[in-house]
Amino acid sequence: MNPYDFHSWYPRGTRRAIAAGANHFVATVDDTTVLKYPVAPQEAANLYLPDAQRFRRSILRRLGKHPRIIQLKGKHEDGLLLEYLPNGSVERYLVANPRTSVKQRLVWGRQAAEGLAYIHTKNVIHGDVSVGNLLLDPHLSIKFCDFQGKFLNADGTVALDDGSSERSMSSMPRSDHNNHDHKTDIFALGTALFVIVTGNLPFPDLDTLDEDEIQRRFEEHEFPPLEKLPGGDVIRNCWTGSYNSASEIIVDLQKLEKTVE
C-alpha cells in the first residue's frame, strides 16, 4: 500500500464516518461511542504514524475520568474508543452560532482553564491547545481532546513525548519548538480564549503560514486590540507569560464572569 494514498475504510463495529483529520477518521460505534482510527489500516499505519494511538491512550488513562476530559471508553484493535460528543468543537459551534452570548463564551474560557489546570496537575502537557480540540458535551460544557504533547514522571523527567502540534498563532515564541511545557500550553490557551471571545484569529491580516511575522508580533507584544475585549487582560497575561499556572486563569475568569449578565 502506498503510505500517501489513503481511502476511507471502516474498522470492525463502526457505523459511519463523522469527521476526518490529517491523519485520522472518526466514526460512530453506537449512540454514545466513537472510534478514532488512522487513515490507513493498522498494518500500514506505522509507516507514517508510529505509536501515536498508544501515546494518546496512555495519556487518557493517566488523566482518568474528569468533566473536562474526553472519556476513553475501551479497547479496539484499530484505534481509540471515545465518548461521542455530537455538538462537536467550540470552533465549529462558533461558526454555526456567531451570536453566542459573551456570558457563554466566558464560561467556555473558564472551563478550558479548568481542564488545562487539571491536565497539568497530572504532569501532562497537552501540546495542541486550540478551539478545534475543545469539544462540547450535551450540556455545551467543554472537554479536551487530541493530546499531542508529553507526560512526565513525578521527578519531572519525560515519560513519553509525542511532540507539539501547535498552530502558528498558538505557538509561544521560543528557539526550540520541540520544547513544550506548562507555559507553552498557557500561551496557546490565550489564543484559544481570543478566538472564543472574538470568533477570529489574532491576526486576520496574516495567513497562518506567515510564521515569522506571527512570531515577531508575539515576541514584540504587538497584540491585536485587547483593551475593550471581555477577558482581554487574561489573554494578554497568557501571551506575556504572566501566569504561573492555569489555576490563576480560572480565578481571573471567575471574577470576570460575575460582572457579565
What is residue 43's predicted lDDT score, i.e. its pLDDT? 52
Overall number of domains in the chain:
2
Final residue belonging to a domain, choices 62, 83, 104? 83
**Residue with the larger pLDDT of the pair 226 and 25:** 226
What is residue 33's predicted lDDT score, i.e. its pLDDT? 94
Q: Per-residue pLDDT for 232 more than 60? A: yes
User: Can you tell me the distance from the alpha carbon of 249 to that of 192, in angstroms, rounded to the nearest whole number?
Assistant: 13
What is residue 3's predicted lDDT score, i.e. its pLDDT? 46
What is residue 96's predicted lDDT score, i.e. its pLDDT? 97
What is residue 50's predicted lDDT score, i.e. its pLDDT? 45
Find the CATH number of the domain harbouring 215. 1.10.510.10
In a shared domain, residues 215 and 245? yes
In a shared domain, residues 23 and 143? no
Q: For residue 12, is it within any domain?
A: no
In a shared domain, residues 41 and 108? no
In a shared domain, residues 100 and 213? yes
Q: Cell 464516518 belongs to which residue?
A: 17
In a shared domain, residues 136 and 68? no
What is residue 164's predicted lDDT score, i.e. its pLDDT? 66
In a shared domain, residues 138 and 228? yes
**Residue with the larger pLDDT of the pair 81 and 153:** 81
In a shared domain, residues 215 and 183? yes
User: Can you tell me the distance from the alpha carbon of 200 to that of 43, in angstroms, rounded to the nearest whole number?
Assistant: 40
Overall average pLDDT of the 112-135 stretch: 96
In a shared domain, residues 161 and 249? yes
Q: For residue 2, is it within any domain?
A: no
Q: For residue 129, is it within any domain?
A: yes
What is residue 13's predicted lDDT score, i.e. its pLDDT? 83
What is residue 42's predicted lDDT score, i.e. its pLDDT? 58
DSSP string, the chain: --TT-------TT---EEEE-SSEEEEEEETTEEEEEESS-HHHHTTT-TTHHHHHHHHHHHH-S-TTBPPEEEEETTEEEEE--TT-BHHHHHHH-TT--HHHHHHHHHHHHHHHHHHHHTTEE-S--SGGGEEE-TTS-EEE----SEEE-TTS-EEEE------GGGPPP-S-TT---HHHHHHHHHHHHHHHHHSS-S-TTS-TT-HHHHHHHHHTT-PPP-TTSTTHHHHHHHHHT--SSHHHHHHHHHHHHTT--
Q: Per-residue pLDDT for 82 more than 90? A: yes
Flag the least confident range among 2-6, 63-67, 214-218.
2-6
Q: For residue 6, is it within any domain?
A: no
- pTM of the complete model beyond 0.85: yes
Dihedral angle at the C-alpha atoms of 116, 122, 126, 132, nearest 10 degrees?
A: -50
What is residue 19's predicted lDDT score, i.e. its pLDDT? 82
pLDDT digits (tens, 9 = 90+) for 21-72: 777 789 899 999 999 888 766 554 454 444 667 788 889 999 999 999 999 9
Q: For residue 9, is it within any domain?
A: no
In a shared domain, residues 70 and 176? no
The CB density around residue 5, as the number of other CB atoms within 10 Å, is: 8
What is residue 39's predicted lDDT score, i.e. its pLDDT? 77
To the nearest whole percent, how much of the chain has pLDDT over 90? 65
State how far Cα 205 lies from the chain centre.
Answer: 24
User: Can you tell me the distance from the alpha carbon of 171 to that of 112, in angstroms, rounded to the nearest whole number?
Assistant: 17
pLDDT digits (tens, 9 = 90+) for 127-185: 999 999 999 999 999 999 989 888 888 887 787 776 667 889 999 999 887 788 999 99
In a shared domain, residues 154 and 175? yes
Q: For residue 186, is it within any domain?
A: yes
Q: For residue 156, is it within any domain?
A: yes
What is residue 51's predicted lDDT score, i.e. its pLDDT? 66
In a shared domain, residues 75 and 136? no
Final residue belonging to a domain, choices 83, 102, 132? 83
Find the CATH number of the domain harbouring 60. 3.30.200
In a shared domain, residues 64 and 129? no
What is the residue-averaged pLDDT of the chain? 89
Final residue belonging to a domain, choices 83, 108, 141? 83
Q: How distant, in Å, are the alpha carbons of 161, 172, 215, 235, 259 from that of 240?
A: 25, 9, 13, 9, 24
Domain enclosing residue 39, as ranges:
17-83
Partner residues linked to 38 by β-bridges: 24
* Nearest residue to 186 (alpha-carbon basis) of 98, 117, 95, 103: 117
What are the grid coordinates assigned to 212, written together?
515569522
